[in-house]
Amino acid sequence: MVNITHKNSTLRKALAEAVLSVSSQDTIDAIVNNKVPKGNVFEMSKTAGLFAAKKTSDMIPDCHPLPIEYTSIQFEIRDLDIYITSEIHTIYKTGVEVEAMHSASVVALTMYDMLKPIDKNIEIRNIRLIEKKGGKSDIKDSGEGIDASVIVCSDSIFAGKKEDKAGKAIISSLEKNNVKTNDYVIIPDEVLEIQNKIKSDIENGIDLIMITGGTGLSKRDVTPEAVRPLLDREIPGIAEAIRSYGQLRTPYSMLSRSLAGMIGDTLIIALPGSTKGAEESMDAIFPGILHIYKILNGGKH
């Protein structure tokens, strides 16, 4: 199966449809009046659809097992056509489109099986996804027009003893979100160095400043101390999202002192210095974090 461990759990919805066509009004009347020999067609097929929604991953090899938290199966009769809709909700890392279509399909197949003794010309058609919601595809905020600066705070990398990977990982993530990296520097983990670089970026009109490194607990980790006094207002929810996301992947995330806030209209985010920590932090907050620029522009971005 596809690796989805990097994804966030969000509310996901899907609505699917199948159409079952019968050959005569007598069949419709038998369904409506509960005269079908095998039993109540709507109730039996609805039950089958509920089972199918929950068992999709058992039938479709690449589907992930996921919690089905809401299912609604509805029927609408239009002449000799019965429109079946299956709506499914979950809070998980991947969508429920296949679950909804599988559910609608099994409802239709169950109806076929129950009706075939009284109607030999039943047809199932137009199994399709009507609508899906949730996940990153629903986030319309784009990084186009946003200029970023990536600052790597590390004494050892600055001295040439280590290679920077975290900063490059951040740049790669920014590119995926259409954010242009205007500047990329490596500086020592020193308060004045960090503050002077931030002030310079602000003067140059940078929209987003990403800092990696110096957020741990050692005596040399001074990034939060350097950044916090400069902030006009802190945005604690960003750091909380980063830590919450990371905690599900490593117990050490609780030790991170990630920090985020605004200086004027510039967003500053301080991330862990490890490559994995930086990558996971970017996965945790992008592209949702870009919505802040829409807010700053009065709803336009």
Residue 284 corresponds to which tokens in the numbers above? 């945790």
> Is residue 183 annotated as a catalytic residue, yes or no?
no
Phi/psi of residue 201, each to 5°? -65, -40
Cα separation, 241 vs 246, in Å, equals 8
Q: From the candidates 26, 29, 79, 113, which is the catalytic residue?
A: 113
Paired strand residues for 150: 184, 210
Q: With CA atoms as reference, report the closest residue to 242 among 292, 285, 287.
A: 285
Compute the residue count for the chain: 301
Is 23 within 8 Å of 123 (Cβ atoms)?
no
Is 215 within 8 Å of 224 (Cβ atoms)?
yes
Cα separation, 202 vs 120, in Å, equals 74
Number of Cβ within 10 Å of residue 297's Cβ equals 11
Is 103 within 8 Å of 41 (Cβ atoms)?
no
Which residues does the annotation mark as catalytic?
113
